[in-house]
Amino acid sequence: MRDAQRYIVSVPHGEHGVSSTNYGLQASIRDTDPAAQNPFHATIANHLSTDGITVNGDENADKLLDKLGIQRTPVAKVKAKELIDMVGERGAPLQVSTIKDILLSGKIPNIDGLDLNHFTDEEMMNKPEEELDDHEAFYRHARENGYHEAMNHFAQRTDKKAWKTHLSHAIPRAMGMKLHPQMFKDSLRAAGIGAIKGDIHGAKNVGSQTPTRKTNDTKNHLDTIVHFDPRVLEEEEGVFTPDFESPKQQACHDTHWASLHLYTQG
């Protein structure tokens, strides 16, 4: 079983043939099912195992935030310390990144049907600026200047009402929801990943219906710290052996992701 685990985490995620049904990520190792490729948690584990920043128990919180490109707010420092303490308690390093850096890496092809190819599309990057549509203009700005900066730039150019449904919010939120510890407990544990999130940007300090609240909520998602424990590769029971989900959970999952897909297409 360990050989299978190492294979899944080490090879490109388009090749390992893990199929899944999400919400509790029922997963098995078998021939690739084209309708269920790239299970999200396995893909994140794969990415962090090779591209994550190594965090040790003696890490400095401020320096860790700088490495992750997270503003040194009081909440951010608390969350960085939480991660460092976790490493100390486990007695082993973790591999970490943020949602924004995972997105901008261009190595995550989709989230349950949400196409992320904008983060790898070189044709878009080479288009004359005047030929870019609104979506392409945002993603190119994000790749060139960072996701936070792209949000700041387009928030100033977008009508306040339209900004609340701007495409920049949906994908970070979708990734944040896919890392929800209650909704995906078994899957996260099986893949060896987890997330630390807080109100780093003070979203709760502004009006709930304001554009700033929406922007800061999304920035909180973007600065969510995602961690991977490499020791999961040594577990006898396997990386991808979570509990099976119930038909009711699957029905809820299908409805939720269909709605989110329609939202991002609007």
Amino acid 111: pLDDT:
73
Amino acid 259: pLDDT:
46
Torsion, Cα 161 167 170 171, to 10 degrees, reads -160
Alpha helices (H) in 179-234, listed in sequence order: 185-191, 211-222
Amino acid 235: pLDDT:
66
Query: What tens digit of pLDDT does each residue of 204-238 get?
Result: 999 988 999 999 999 999 999 999 999 987 765 54
Query: How is residue 117 annotated by DSSP?
Result: G
Amino acid 236: pLDDT:
54
Confidence band for 107, pLDDT divided at 50, 70 and 90:
confident
Cα Dmax for the chain: 55
Mean pLDDT of 6-34: 38
Q: Checking phi first, is residue 238 left (phi over 0); if not, alpha (psi -120 to 50) or beta?
A: left
Amino acid 71: pLDDT:
96
Residues 6+ apart with CB under 8 A from 3: none
Query: What pairs with residue 29 in β-bridges?
Result: 18
Q: What is the pTM of this model?
A: 0.74
